[in-house]
A and B are shown apart, each in its own frame.
Chain A
């Protein structure tokens, strides 16, 4: 009796798996689904008067690519990150990783400068003396335009937020996320 029940369950699971696979393989994902950004800050807390780093780690869905910050053609839309600075913060620098030159079926003769897989955009900020103490957020906008091997999704702007905690000037700060920022001492 139990064997028969188990077999029926396995059969049902197989049916659903096949249906899902048949359906999923033919879908193109919406533009906001193919790129997942995650923001990190290098210091905890961030003392007033100190510079700190933020990183936006972008995971790009398999089978998709997005233009790098310096695409091969002026009409192509580059990847960019733009912060909206709250009072008390200054943007020191933004750096983008280099893209990879890749050929696609629709552009076999002309490689494109693109990001695939996972890429990290880096920003350096300074917390000024007037930055409010306590929890703070720096909202940013990530702009990108992604394609798969045969079609291109519209360019989108998605919000990304860096959350941090501001402390007094002489507060002791620890480097966090060493896998992203390394293990150097806070500046």
Chain B
């Protein structure tokens, strides 16, 4: 009996280890897998749609949601109304989304999309209201890799990576971001 209990306990422990190991595999996790890390943000410089350089460090002092997306990504576009809404509500409290577009064609396809595409935000057709920057594989690698979209990374006011998630930002994620903004 004691041996059976020990064996069962070992089974449970190893299964839990397998689950934890899976959830720690950065960019390979599903939306329910989370990376909690206090690593400093990477040193990254993006290009905006006009070709100007924009450094991630220039946003220090704000809570930043770095959101990797692409025009062809339906899941990404589905979460944009919430990103816009959050930007509207919390920009004045020192929050910003950074939309990192990963289309191969770059600004050529992203700029017209940003200029022309509206999203239903609380019943109003609204354009994207946060900075849109151009990403690439090298930039994605600096965030630990991006294998699917959307992938979001939350950065604290002092430039630390608080969270990284794959998939649409969920209600519990928004709650956590709100608590960071509020703090």
Contact = CB atoms under 8 A, between A and B. Distances in A.
Interface of A: 11, 14-15, 18-28, 30, 73, 75-77, 104-107, 112, 145, 147, 150-155
A20 B30 CA distance: 15
Contacts of B148: 28, 151-154
Contacts of A20: 18
B144 to A, nearest CB: 14
A18 B25 CA distance: 18
Contacts of B30: 25-28, 150-151
B15 interface: yes
Interface of B: 7, 10-11, 14-19, 21-23, 25, 28-33, 70-76, 78-79, 102, 113, 147-151, 166-168
Contacts of B31: 150-151
B105 to A, nearest CB: 11
Contacts of A21: 15, 18
A104 B10 CA distance: 39
B11 A73 contact: no
Given A76-B72, A155-B72, A30 B147 contact: yes
B168 A11 contact: no
Contacts of B73: 147, 152
B29 A22 contact: no
Given A22-B16, A27-B29, A152-B73, 4 more contacts: A11-B7, A26-B33, A28-B30, A154-B70
Contacts of B17: 19
B75 A11 contact: no
B19 A22 contact: yes
A105 B79 CA distance: 11
A14 B151 CA distance: 34
A23 B149 contact: no
Contacts of A152: 70, 72-76, 148-150
B163 to A, nearest CB: 16
Contact of B167 (A19, A22, A73, A150): A150
Nearest to A72: B74
Contacts of A26: 19, 22-23, 25, 28-30, 32-33
A11 B5 CA distance: 12
Nearest to B23: A26
A21 B14 CA distance: 11
Contacts of B29: 26-28
A22 B151 CA distance: 22
Contacts of B71: 75
A174 to B, nearest CB: 43
A99 to B, nearest CB: 13
Contacts of B147: 28, 30, 153
A112 B166 CA distance: 21
Nearest to A18: B15
Contacts of B166: 28, 150-151
A111 B154 CA distance: 30
Nearest to B76: A152
Given A11-B11, A18-B11, A151-B167, A23 B74 contact: no
Contacts of B11: 11, 14-15, 18
B10 A151 contact: no
A24 B173 CA distance: 23
